[in-house]
Amino acid sequence: MNARRWWDLIVAGSLTVLAAIAVEGSERHPVSAAGAVLSLTAVGLAYIVWGRRMLRPRPIPGDRGSSGFDHVTYPGSARMLRIAIIVGCGVATSFDPNMATLQTLVFPLIWALADSCRHAVVLSTSLTVVTGVGLWVGSGRTPDAAAQAVAIETISLVFALAMGIWITRIATAGAEQRRLVEKLTLAQDELAVLHRDAGSASEREHLAREIHDTIAQSLTSLVMLAQRTRRELDALPVDTSVAADSVDLIEATGRDALAEARALVASMAPARVGDGDLAHTLARLTERFERETGIQVGVDLAGLGTTGDGTAPALDRALEVVLLRCAQEGLANVRKHSGAGAAHVGVARTGHDIVLTVSDSGRGLGDYTPDTEHGFGLAGMRDRLALVGGRLEVTDSAAEGAGGGHGTTLRVTLPVSAPAVSTGPALPTGVGARG
């Protein structure tokens, strides 16, 4: 049963019982009974008009401690209902002192409709004063009636405040516990993602070592055996040109396979940075790329600078990981597909976004379109960017800073204010590209 049905049942039941009590004494005091019933009716109408519209028709997940009244969205309705039930209780009691029992309904309503604990105390005090006046009037306006009204309402107020404050503290503690549980659950989810990504990075590094120590070494031996065979064929006194051509083909094929194996190892190996920041990590990444490929790489990392006035805030660690992995994947694509002699890596700030570009002076995209993509690199990059609200563009363009030739530009745009999402191990423990 949701809050609306509970309050409907409580209000309807309380008003019905009090109306029956008032009607029971109508033979002795018909005017007082009629006034009390009309006052109770006014309270019921006020609840129907202003109260029920504030009640949520269905419970909100994680909101189990709420009274159900949305007085923040409907401040006018809440104000009118407070006035109506306080005045109604006082008027009903002035006609029939027995109607002071209506406070057992009005006090909970006041606490449910109050904006804060202090506000509830003020409203409860107002209800006590109004009902006390009504009780004094309904009891004959005598000094004894005044003393009796003061005693009754003082006890009512003390009890109401004690119960209200106690229940409020319980509700506050419950809300805090729910918040802590939600925070703990989120932390556990993030930890699980970190463990999964750390395991994935470790497995990639292990696989890179295995390829380097087995396949790459075997291919190196194959190339060396082909070279030795070529020398032995040259030493023979007969015509070995046909066999020499086959040996040359074996050597060329072995060299190509060895180059692919080394490129695969380089793309899967993590970029270790110790305690350095992203700018230093990218600089070392491009330096290593130049040594391994011979491709000259221009670097412009001005967008990674920070300022004391907050105009260029430092990047979240998760965003740094995303940028580094995208740069690694971009350079891996330059290595494997571009045939370029020069490339350029740049990071710039544009408004609230940070933009990473990896461009080259190679052959360009050709017939490539995102619909024809069969690899895992760019698809994985798009998935990673989607987690932090980023976007990826791959276009043919004049390669800025890459010799001015026709080439490809990979552009990654990230909102600097994106929420931190675990995308892999932190930089100091190494981050691998998706090869």
State mean pLDDT over 61-77: 68
Segment among 89-98, 224-233, 400-409 with least mean pLDDT: 400-409
Segment among 198-207, 241-250, 281-290 with least mean pLDDT: 198-207
pLDDT (tens digit per residue) in 334-347: 887 778 889 999 99
Whether 60 has a pLDDT exceeding 60, the answer reads: no
pLDDT of residue 352: 83
Q: Which residue has the higher pLDDT, 107 or 340?
A: 107
Whether 92 has a pLDDT exceeding 90, the answer reads: yes
* 44 token code pair: 């019921």
* 77 token code pair: 């309705």
Pair 334, 378: CB distance under 8 Å: no
Confidence of residue 371 (pLDDT cuts 50, 70, 90): low
Cα torsion 349, 279, 328, 259: sign: positive
Pair 207, 268: CB distance under 8 Å: yes
Closest listed residue to residue 363, CA positions, set 299, 408, 314: 408
Fold of 273-435: Heat Shock Protein 90 (3.30.565)
Contacts of residue 224, Cβ cutoff 8 Å, sequence gap at least 6: none
pLDDT of residue 74: 86
For 109, other C-beta atoms within 10 Å of its C-beta total 24
Pair 363, 324: CB distance under 8 Å: no
pLDDT (tens digit per residue) in 210-249: 887 788 888 888 888 888 898 888 888 888 888 888 888 8
Instruction: Give the separation between CA 213 and CA 207, rounded to whole angstroms.
Output: 10
Whether 322 has a pLDDT exceeding 60, the answer reads: yes
Segment among 42-51, 254-263, 399-408 with least mean pLDDT: 399-408
Backbone dihedral region for residue 364 (phi beyond 0: left; psi -120 to 50: alpha; all else: beta): left
Cα torsion 68, 73, 77, 82: sign: positive
Full strand arrangement of the beta sheet holding 296-300: 296-300, 342-350, 353-360, 406-415, 391-398
Instruction: Give the separation between CA 68 and CA 112, rounded to whole angstroms.
Output: 8
Burial class (CB in 10 A: 0-12, 13-18, 19+), 113: buried
Whether 349 has a pLDDT exceeding 80, the answer reads: yes
pLDDT of residue 374: 52
Which residue type, as a one-letter code, is found at position 279?
Answer: A
Q: With H, G, I as helix, E, B as strand and everything else as coil, classify residue 286.
A: helix
Confidence of residue 113 (pLDDT cuts 50, 70, 90): confident
DSSP assignments along 333-349, one per residue: HIIIII--SEEEEEEEE
- Beta strands in 292-386, from DSSP E residues, in sequence order: 296-300, 342-350, 353-360
Which H or E run contains 280? helix 278-293
pLDDT of residue 412: 93
pLDDT of residue 425: 43
pLDDT of residue 59: 47
Whether 369 has a pLDDT exceeding 90, the answer reads: no
pLDDT of residue 317: 72
> pTM of the predicted model, to two decimals?
0.45
State mean pLDDT over 289-302: 85
Confidence of residue 398 (pLDDT cuts 50, 70, 90): low
Q: Which residue has the higher pLDDT, 314 or 189?
A: 189
pLDDT of residue 281: 81
Instruction: Give the separation between CA 388 and CA 323, rounded to whole angstroms.
Output: 11
DSSP assignments along 102-147, one per residue: GHHHHHHHHHHH-SSHHHHHHHHHHHHHHHHHHHHHHTTS-HHHHH
Instruction: Give the separation between CA 67 and CA 81, rounded to whole angstroms.
Output: 15
